[in-house]
Structure 1
Amino acid sequence: MPDAATLIELDERIAILRSNLSELTEQATAYSGAADEDRAAERIAQQQQLLDTLLKQREEMAR
């Protein structure tokens, strides 16, 4: 059984990443230049990849 503190910490990190993704998406809609859009898309992709990794860890720990 996973440690409850570890699960709580993981859940907190997941919540932060979801919030970051939401903010980045909102910011990306305000960008007008191609370079800015590329940077925003790259940052969103990085955050999504990290979120996916954490969600996978969380799922494995819950088993």
Structure 2
Amino acid sequence: MSNESSMSEAELNNRIRILEDNIRQLIEQAAAASGERNEARIADRLSQQNEELERLTRERDARSKKQSSEK
């Protein structure tokens, strides 16, 4: 897991794009998966990716808000 506060804005945005793509791929895999074990594994990974995406999005929004207030 990356330390969000040490990432540049470009790195943060890139990581968010990667997570969004990972989530899209996991959803596609889940739709094609058969078997309870595969579905549970994909669901766990999807949950992790969503949590990280939410955390990074909050960090980006907080930075944006801080920059706006400093102007």
Normalising by structure 2, report the TM-score. Answer: 0.80
1:6-21 equivalences in 2 (<5 Å): 6-21=8-23
Task: Give 1:41 shift.
Answer: 0.4
Count residues in correspondence.
Answer: 59
Give percent identity, aligned residues only: 39
CA RMSD of aligned residues (A): 1.1
| Other-structure match for 1:39 | 41
Q: Could you say which structure has the greater relative contact order, defined with CA pairs below 8 angstroms and 6 or more residues apart?
A: 1
Task: Give 1:60 shift.
Answer: 0.5
What whole-Å deviation, never above 9, does each CA across 1:2-27 have from its counterpart, x for those lacking one? xxx81111000000000000001101
